[in-house]
Amino acid sequence: MKSLLSVAEAEQRIHAHMPSFGTEHVALDAATGRVLRQSVQAERDQPPFDRVMMDGIAIAAGTGTLCSFRRAGLALAGMAEQVLDDPAACIEVTTGAMLPRGCDSVVPIEQTRREGERFVLSDGYEPTPGQFIHPRGADCREGELLLRSGTRIRSPEVAVLAANGVAQVEVAKRPSVTMVATGDELREVDQALAPGQIRRSNDRALAAALATRGFDDVERTWLPDDLNIATQVLAGLLATRQVLVLSGGVSVGQRDFVPAALHALGVQEVLHGIAQRPGKPMWFGIGPQGQVIFALPGNPVSALVCAVRYLLPALEHAIGLTAAPPVKVVLADAAATHPTLTCFIPVDVQHDDHGRAMARPQPSLTSGDFSSLPQTHGVVELAPAAGAAPVGTIAVLHRW
């Protein structure tokens, strides 16, 4: 580990080295949660016609002060345009129908009574031109830009895509990712534990972090503490996967063989060591075919911090997601800072009665303590500073 980079420098270097993973077309039903990589213009005016907003009768209110109208026809939603050619008559209409030509007003059914083939307005009811009509193009005009590339597709975007005839949606491809746990001491979740052994959890937690953001082409594997075996396994992964995320093996100890194994495979180190706590040993490099390799520390909290601060933003940047503005929160308790290291502190966030996002630090004894993380929403980022960050400090939140 050479001189430590700042958090901002590290982020900038990583983003600068991220490849593009391309785009693909998926059926609209499969597009939820994906990142849109096309723009979408209005297919037609919206509404596409003067649209009736109430069940009732359509009349030509602008032509007189009649209070009784002959029923001259019916316009249901979905029918082609009807025509009213007698201003003393009306056309019965339903919500969603095209306003009949010759009409300029809709009277709700509740304001009428039927007398044989006539509709009579309620006593004193005075329809005004334009009422209960949603005019063609009032919401948007044909060709208007409705969705930009880089948008995460949620329910409102699906509504717009569907309404504008986008049956196949161009979205960002998601990279193939393998999570690699390292260490002889690790056993799987369903294996018996001998003294000195612990369960593999980082690879699963990191896969969950990716799944939460919609990255689902994620596999998991494991490396023993053996440079030769590790090199062999990593060679196979580099040949088939676009992103490798290792946890463990990146400190300065004798068993921290990951950088050596990667170097032997032609992976170029881009950074090793960030001025932060936890997560200082973080390593990032680029493979011969542009594969990206994140080697995160092995401590569970460190690994998750590096995932939400670097890995997830880098992948989201690479697939073209428009970055959201930072979420600024208020420290509800003082939190320790460090004179030269950026500190990431797990916090529980609740909105108070003033609409402020109050972040209560849940300090853990060590970066290995993840038992209390389920009570938190993410981490706040505290820049290097002497002393502590007092109550009321504003900090950026990174959600799990």
Q: Which residues inside 64-103 make contact with its own copies, applying CB under 8 A?
A: 76-81, 94-98
CB-side neighbour CA atoms (13 Å) of 12: 5
Residues 271-330 that bind its own copies (CB under 8 A): 298, 300, 304, 307, 325-330
Q: Does 166 bind its own copies (CB under 8 A)?
A: yes
Given its phi and psi angles, is residue 17 left (phi above 0), alpha (psi -120 to 50 degrees) or beta? alpha
The helix or strand, by DSSP H or E, that contains position 155, with its residue range, turns out to be helix 155-163
Q: Does 190 bind its own copies (CB under 8 A)?
A: yes
Q: Does 26 bind its own copies (CB under 8 A)?
A: no
Residues 324-343 that bind its own copies (CB under 8 A): 325-330
Confirm if 250 and 281 have CB atoms less than 8 A apart.
yes
Candidate segments 5-13, 63-71, 162-170, 284-292, binder of its own copies by CB under 8 A: 162-170
Question: Least distance to its own copies from the beta carbon of 307, Å?
Answer: 7
Q: Does 170 bind its own copies (CB under 8 A)?
A: no
Sign, Cα dihedral of 198, 199, 200, 206: negative
Q: Does 357 bind its own copies (CB under 8 A)?
A: yes
The set of residues, in sequence order, having a beta carbon less than 8 Å from that of 85 and lying 6+ positions away, is 102
Question: Least distance to its own copies from the beta carbon of 67, Å?
Answer: 22
Residue found under tokens 């630090």: 361
Q: Which of 103, 121, 146, 223 binds its own copies (CB under 8 A)?
A: 146
What is the per-residue DSSP string for 304-328?
A: HHHIIIIIHHHHHHHTTPPPPPPEE
User: What pairs with residue 178 in β-bridges?
Assistant: 219, 244
Residues 233-262 that bind its own copies (CB under 8 A): 251-256
Count of residues interacting with its own copies (CB under 8 A): 114
Confirm if 329 and 359 have CB atoms less than 8 A apart.
yes
Confirm if 217 and 207 have CB atoms less than 8 A apart.
no
Of 109 and 227, CB closest to its own copies = 109
Of 257 and 287, CB closest to its own copies = 257
Length of the chain: 400
Residue 311, CA distances (Å) to 11, 53, 245, 321 in order: 9, 49, 9, 14
Q: Does 8 bind its own copies (CB under 8 A)?
A: no
User: What pairs with residue 134 in β-bridges?
Assistant: 51
Of 286 and 335, CB closest to its own copies = 335
Q: Which of 177, 207, 243, 345 binds its own copies (CB under 8 A)?
A: 207
Candidate segments 3-11, 12-20, 112-120, 362-370, binder of its own copies by CB under 8 A: 362-370
Q: Which of 211, 229, 239, 323 binds its own copies (CB under 8 A)?
A: 211
Candidate segments 2-10, 16-24, 53-61, 226-234, binder of its own copies by CB under 8 A: 53-61
